[in-house]
Amino acid sequence: MDFTSLLNSTGLVQGTGLKLVHPIARFLFFILLSWVAVCIFKYLLNRFVFKAESRHVRLVGIFVLIGLAVLGARLVLVEISSIFHFSVPLTLTRTIDSLIVIIFFAGLHNFIVGIINRLGERIRSPQFKEASFGVMRNMAEAIMWFLCLTVVLRIWGIEIGPLLTGLGIAGIALGLALQTTLGDLFSGVAIAFDKEFKLGDVIEVGDVFGVVKEISARSIKVKTYSNDIVVLTNSRLSSSNLINHTALKPRRITILLRLAYGSDVKKVKKICMQSIEKVARELKKEQGKEIILSNPKPSIYMTDLAEYSINFRVFVWFPSFSEMFDAEERLKIEIYNALNRNKIRFAQQNLILPAK
């Protein structure tokens, strides 16, 4: 005996009501399965995509469950119409189908916004995050709701070919007009994810050398050491070699010495090392900390026997770029004076004029 026969034998449901049992039971079972599937889907999103509980995932689950419920109701309506031999008005089915599409696109909207916000959490600059990812959210929403409108219009039998053609032409024109701006925006997003620099870093891009003072969606502002503000677009940054002088510590400088042939190599190395140790002691006494590092220790090498000179390179390590920037000149002056005091001559290129 099946469930329908059981109800009929009890007399609880008879006649017309008995015909509705199977459709309603299937609808309730469909809702139960949908709820279980949505719970699993939400768990997977939180676990593997968002890595934490997300408001957007909760909203996605709500919209998907509502959409499935409306879809189930539509299927029940079609089944009931076949049982009682009546036709469902076309306007009603189109309205329900449109509602289902809108609900599912609303869930998709929350999912995409959640993904964009999740990516934006990696960006440190609030101004850059709001400007750049605000544009991305607006573009994603515009594309998504346009697709939603397209599907709804197709449901109602409205021809969308001319509309798509017109919007395509307008989109091409707008894209050409905003090509540079959009290029800067997307280059900025790529730079932000790479984390090549942050506010306060000393960077060098081409002939621009200075401190990063402002980061926006389209450009950055660099304050040079001559007290100028230089605006660098993100497109230029992404297409140029960028040197970040403060990203890594400690920092090393290289001092090139071109000395005359005949110079005593051992004496040159000894003088340079004594000069480094002297400046290191003075800086430590003045600032109360080690400015010229003893580890890694300074080193001097004879690197080239050039046409007019013996070339030496002096390598000295500093804790950071700011300390290196201030002490480098002082160290060079001390080495220069010490070599002069010890009669170590610097190389000069001799110019021989032909006799007349």
pLDDT digits over 55-92, tens only?
888 888 899 899 999 998 888 888 888 877 788 888 99
Output the pLDDT for position 3: 45
Structural domains in the chain plus CATH codes = 3-187 (no CATH), 188-244 (2.30.30.60), 251-341 (3.30.70.100)
Output the pLDDT for position 220: 81
Cα-based angle 329, 333, 337 (whole degrees, multiple of 5): 175
Q: Where are the beta strands (DSSP E) in the chain?
A: 202-205, 208-215, 219-224, 229-233, 242-244, 251-259, 299-305, 310-318
The phi-psi region of residue 231 (left if phi > 0; otherwise alpha if psi is between -120 and 50; otherwise beta) is beta
Highest mean pLDDT: which range of 2-11, 133-142, 234-243: 234-243
The single-letter code of the amino acid at 66 is: I
Tell me the C-alpha distance between 191 and 12, whole Å.
70
Name the more confident of 107 and 160: 107
Highest mean pLDDT: which range of 17-26, 228-237, 272-281, 321-330: 272-281
Output the pLDDT for position 279: 95
Percent share of the chain, pLDDT over 90: 32
Helix (H) or strand (E) holding 20: none
Name the more confident of 334 and 163: 334
Tell me the C-alpha distance between 56 and 66, whole Å.
15
**Average pLDDT over every residue of 237-262:** 88
Instruction: Report whether pLDDT(214) > 90.
Output: no
Name the more confident of 21 and 73: 73
Output the pLDDT for position 6: 43
Tell me the C-alpha distance between 195 and 193, whole Å.
5
332 band by pLDDT with thresholds 50, 70 and 90:
very high
Name the more confident of 163 and 285: 285
**Average pLDDT over every residue of 7-35:** 69
Nearest to 346 by CA among 303, 308, 291: 308
Instruction: Report whether pLDDT(302) > 80.
Output: yes
Collapsed DSSP state (helix, strand, coil) of residue 216: coil
Give the pair of three-digit tokens for residue 32: 């139960």
12 band by pLDDT with thresholds 50, 70 and 90:
very low
pLDDT digits over 45-57, tens only?
888 777 767 788 8
215 band by pLDDT with thresholds 50, 70 and 90:
confident
Name the more confident of 218 and 225: 225
Highest mean pLDDT: which range of 14-28, 179-193, 202-216: 202-216
